[in-house]
């Protein structure tokens, strides 16, 4: 099988380190989210972003440790999807970046997540060998029905909660039960109002 390009290793290590730092920082110390690349408030938002980086750290670890490209092809797609979300989030908050108070964090964020997708695109192998199917002894069969049900359940719950928060932002008041305080927004309830067409 085709070996993973050696030039991917330093990118994967940096990805793992940054993701791990963001997990510890935002998930366990969410009150310091104001010192992020842009001020991340309220507390629950910082924790949500920190939890998202757990998946990023998982992908980075396997991209680093795996030797064969055939086992990484699915993660390459997931990596691009995650980087696309980070790019959109960065562009959305570019006017709020902490260029003055925390310029080091802001620069690391912008450089890391603007350079990485370009580097991955240039390094990713595209030869016929890189697209060849896995050898028979490495195939593990289809996804089990139990896993499909768990993933489907998680997707349905996520869509319901996200939809409720989008349609009726006041549902976030229930976060008081978690001790995080309401997820208030300066444009509260502005999702469907033409005079407040801003999403927080």
With cut-offs at 50, 70 and 90, classify the pLDDT of residue 154. Answer: confident
Q: What is the Cα–Cα distance from 89 to 26, expressed in whole angstroms?
A: 16
CA distances from 129 to 2, 70, 75, 104, 109 (A): 7, 9, 18, 41, 34
| Residue boundaries of the structural domains of the chain | 1-135, 142-200
- pLDDT per residue over 56-72, tens digit each? 888 888 888 888 888 78
pTM of the predicted structure, to 2 decimals: 0.65
Q: What is the Cα–Cα distance from 55 to 49, expressed in whole angstroms?
A: 11
Element (H, E) at 157: helix 145-167
């Amino acid at each position: 099988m085709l070996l993973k390009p050696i030039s991917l290793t330093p990118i994967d290590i940096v990805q793992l380190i940054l993701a791990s730092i963001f997990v510890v920082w935002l998930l366990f110390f969410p009150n310091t989210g104001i010192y992020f690349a842009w001020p991340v408030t309220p507390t629950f938002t910082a924790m949500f972003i920190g939890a998202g980086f757990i998946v990023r750290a998982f992908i980075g670890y396997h991209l680093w440790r795996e030797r064969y490209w055939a086992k990484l092809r699915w993660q390459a797609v997931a990596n691009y999807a995650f980087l696309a979300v980070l790019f959109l989030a960065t562009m959305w908050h570019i006017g709020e970046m902490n260029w003055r108070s925390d310029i080091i964090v802001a620069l690391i964020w912008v450089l890391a997540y603007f350079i990485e997708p370009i580097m991955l695109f240039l390094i990713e192998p595209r030869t016929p060998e890189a697209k060849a199917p896995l050898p028979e002894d490495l195939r593990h069969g289809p996804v089990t029905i139990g896993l499909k049900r768990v993933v489907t359940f998680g997707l349905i719950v996520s869509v319901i909660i996200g939809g409720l928060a989008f349609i009726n932002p006041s549902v976030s008041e229930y976060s008081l039960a978690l001790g995080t305080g309401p997820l208030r927004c300066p444009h509260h309830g502005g999702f469907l109002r033409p005079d407040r067409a801003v999403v927080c």
